[in-house]
Each structure stands twice: as structure tokens, then as C-alpha cells.
Structure 1
Amino acid sequence: MGHPPRTKPKPPKTSKEPTMSTTTLAEMQTSAVAQQKQNFAVSMTNLQGFELAQRCAKLLATSTLVPKEYQGNISNCVIALNMAQRIGADPLQVMQNLVIVHGRPTWSSQFLIATVNTSGRFSALRFEFFGEQGQDTWGCRAWAVEKSTNEKLVGADITIAIAKAEGWYGKNGSKWKTMPQQMLMYRAGSWWTRAFAPELSMGLQTADEAGDVFDAQQGANGSYAVDLGDLKPTKAEVVDTQTGEILDAEVVTQTSGNGKESAKTGNAATKNAQKTADSVKEKAENVQADQQVDQQQDEPEPDTSSLNFE
């Protein structure tokens, strides 16, 4: 007898209904809080960063610890926040060291040197003095070591002779006469920064440099005022339109002088022509008057014989 065929057991039936994942209220709240805690940096180019800048500026503008230029001025605070973001500095530190001279922002020399020292790219700035103290040859140079290349970066030499030649030494109230050593270091440090790390200074001068160019006086609110009549005269470059050559000041002066002489000659000729015209006009009037007199004399006298007089 043959055996019956074996049958495979059927697998148990499974439910085809999809499973639904459930999210609790606590998980939803945690997710919303995580999204709100995203970090936004102060920026002028995106909405979140710009809104954050305005909120921070409103807070700083109401403080009495910030300089007068920022109190109640949200726009100035936003600009200071943007500058602090660009150089990686503290906003309050930027506000206290951003000095307004003649309507333009400048850095304090101490802040510029401190920015280099804390940038992490260079060693701390060091200063070397040379020449004989008290003489025009006395000077200072700044240097630092770039950490990525281990190269020593030496700045330009600043001497008392340069200060006198540029007119810094003889300004009213100049610190070059009372504290020359400190001014040499400040100027050497600012020149080094603009030569090797211009992104830290953002192309701005220091308050000391601006004061040397203009006779600036510091006011009670910390800003500097300048008398426009006392500005240092500068030589304007005049370019020859045909050759593209920059003309010397003496040539320009001579040309200007020749122009003045030509103008004087032209004025004299104009005056002579006017005198001639006046003379001709006067002679014509005289001739006309003489003709009228002659005409009156040539007229016959009226006949009065027929008139009866009682």
C-alpha cells in the first residue's frame, strides 16, 4: 500500500492592516524646543541673523555703559555688532574702542594691538627700539611670528624724523612731544597690523593717526571734533589728459599762475574796450547835441509886425 502524500502546514494568517506609530505630546514639545534652540549668528544677510542683531541692538541702546554714540541709536549698535562678528571680538569691547573722528570710525591703538595678540594666528606683538633717544633717528619697529609658517614678520620703521616730516610732531596738543616712546609703539603696531593683518583693522585708521592728520579735539562725550579751517593742506594730483602723466605741484602752480596772468590780461583788454565804447558813445551824443543847437539857430524868427499891442 502506498503512503498518502504529505502536505506542508499553512503559515498562520497575518493581519494586513498597517501599524501606526504614535507620538506623545511630550515628544512633540521636545522637538519644538529643539528647533527653537538652533543657534543663529548676528548677520546682515539673512532674516534670523538680522532679527537677532536688532534685538541685541535694542538692548545695548538702552544701556548707560555704552558710549554716547550708541545710546538710543539702534543703527549704530547694529553696525557695531556686525563689526564685532566680522573680527570675532566682543560687541561691548568694539563699542568702547571704536572712536568717531571727523565723522569717521577709528580704532584705539590699544584695541588694535590687543586684537592681533588674541587672534591666535600670530605671537604677541613685540617692539624694538633703535637710534639714539631724544634724536630724530630714534625709532621703533613692531614684529610678530606667524604661527602657521613660523616666519618672523617685521613691520615698518617709525622714527621721530618721520613724525616731524609728516607733521604729526608739531600738531597742537600732540602727544609726540610729551610721550614719544608710547606714540612710537602705537604707530608701529597699527602700521604692522595694516601690513600683515588688514582684515583685523578692517581698513580703519587709529584715533591717534586721525588726530595727527587733523587737529582733532576730544569732546566730553568721547568723540573728536575738527575745525575745517585747520585741516592739513594736501597736494592735489593733476593728470595730463593727453599723456596720463601726473604733473608736479610746481608745474601746476606755474600753470595756474600763467592762467591768472592771462585772466588779468583779458580783464584789462575788456576794460579798455569798454572805455573805448563809452568814449565813442559820448562823442556821438555830443555830435547829436551840436546838430540840434545848429538847427535851432538856423530856424527864422517869427514875424511879429502884424500883432497889435495895446
Structure 2
Amino acid sequence: MTVVTLADHQAQQQHLAAPSMPRMSVETKLDYCRAFAASGLLPRQFRGQPANLLYAVEYAESLGLHPMVAITGVHVIEGKPSASSALISALVRRAGHRLRIKGDATAAVAQVIRTDDPDWTFEVRFTIEDARRAGLLGKDVWKKYPASMLKARALSAVARDACEEALFGIHYTPEELGAVVDQEGNPVYLAGEIQQDTGEQAPQDVEQPDFLALAQDCPDADAVRAVWGQAKAAGAPADYLAQVAAIGRNKPGAKVAEQPPAEVVEDVVEAEPAGDAQIAADTATARAEMYDAAQAAGLDVEEANEAFEAAHGCQAVFATAEQLRAQAADLREAVEGDR
């Protein structure tokens, strides 16, 4: 059970209620944001982006928050404002409602008791099986921090259910909107902070490009594949690579989406040269093994294809038997690790 002391609660409320900037005209605020945007300590989405910073300042003012709370805690994903579970819990408690959270790596339960209806308890339970059905367990952050992620999901869901008015339009965490996040639920922006496979951070003075933005600007799927390769070489996590790959599938020149396993196997076997019948049969068998392992891991066909493409840089329908069996082995290992 997460316990919040009275002193912690008061400090949290004081932080959220810290006075915002004095009321200024939009022009004055923009001048302020232009000067502030030069800071290298800001999150990447605000550095050199005074208009983005103005959005955060205006949003903070509408929520009655100190600007720095919005700058560090509110993240806009595909045009939708989101916040970490910590900020969502702070907003709920600031409104006077009682919030309780408990859980472990298998399940989490979050409860809210409203001040205007103290006899009723809103409760949401989110389990590792729920996460499996939602296809979340393949994400790196879910593998490393399942307890934290389960609590975040339960917390945001109960807050939406019990006291939406306290959230001021912030209904979801960045992870729920598809962002790659860290243990605290904050988006991982590829700006010299990419987590390498070794678990060590990249040097902070090495500025990495925003590969998602680069992919969006690409004219065709081939260009996106090149960006995908750059992102992988830079150490981007599999979740992030999958997002880059998804952009490529909507670009001109993208290959046709895969069919369900049985149809895929049939189509590929027919497409193989007659002289390579043995290779075709072996590849078809390996592909079926990979889909079976994906199903055991709680992934549907589309999710399995995305996971394969993120890991190997090509679509499963064009993969070798060796690549397919390697992916199947990784999926089986992930399932065993969850038990």
C-alpha cells in the first residue's frame, strides 16, 4: 500500500498550487518563452521551441499549476495532453479526494474515495494478464518494471472513472497513448538519453536526432527504413523502433500488410522458386513456429509482425528461417521469464 503522510500531501499541494507567472499578454508571454527556450535544461520538446513552451505555460495557467509543473509533467502525444501517474495522483489529491494504491509485479489495485461521496469507493484492478491481453508485455519498460507500470495503469483508470473533473483534460499517461517511457512513466525522447542494451546511458553531450520526426518527414517507405536503421544503431529501444516502422507502413512504397499466419505461409510457399522448395518449406515451418510463440506470449498477428520487424528490420513475410526461429526463441524466453 502506498502511504502518503500529511506533510507529503501538504508539500505536494503547495508545489502544484505554487503561483504561476503574473498575468501577462500573449506577446509578453511569448517573449518570456523565447528567452526560456534557449535553456539546455528543458525537455527536448521545448528546447528552441518557444511556441511549444507557450502551450505548456498556457496549459499550466488553465490548470492552476506552476508553469514548471506543466513543463516537466505534461507531455503532448499526437496532440493530446498526457501526464505521468505521479502528476495525475497529485491532481486527484489536490481536489481533496482520497487515493490509495497497492500492487506488485502481478496485479495492482487503485481506489478513490470522493470528498462529496465518502460512502462509495471507486476501484480499478489491473493485472499482468490484462497487460498480456493488451499486448503490453513485449515492451521493454514492462519487462523491467511490471509493478510500476501496473500501478500506473490502475491509477489513471480509476482517476478517469472517479474524478475526471480533477484531471482537466489529462485522461491518459504517455505510455497509454503509445509513447516509449521510462520507469517513472515519462516519455523517452532520443536526445542523448537513449538506453543502450547494456543499461548504460549514452554520453549526455551526444545529441541524437528525433527519429520519429525524421520518419514522418520521409517521402517514402525506403527512406523510413534508413531512418529505422539509424535509430537502431543509436540504441533506440524496440518499442521506439516499432513506432518508426509503423510510420513507414503508411508511406508510399510500403509493402502490403501481412495476412494471418496460415494464409501467409500459403502465399509465401507459392511465391518461392520451384528449385528452392526445401528452403520454402523450412521457412514456412519456422514462420508458423514464430506465430505460435507469439500467441503464447499474448500477441496477435499484427503485434507479432510489428515485434519481429522492430527486432530484425524486415517484415516477417520476407524473413529467413533462422530469423524466424530466433524470434520464436526470444518470445518463449519472455514467456518463461513472466512465469
Scaled by the length of structure 1, the TM-score of the pair is 0.48
Question: In terms of Rg, which structure is larger?
Answer: 1
Scaled by the length of structure 2, the TM-score of the pair is 0.44
Higher helix share: 2
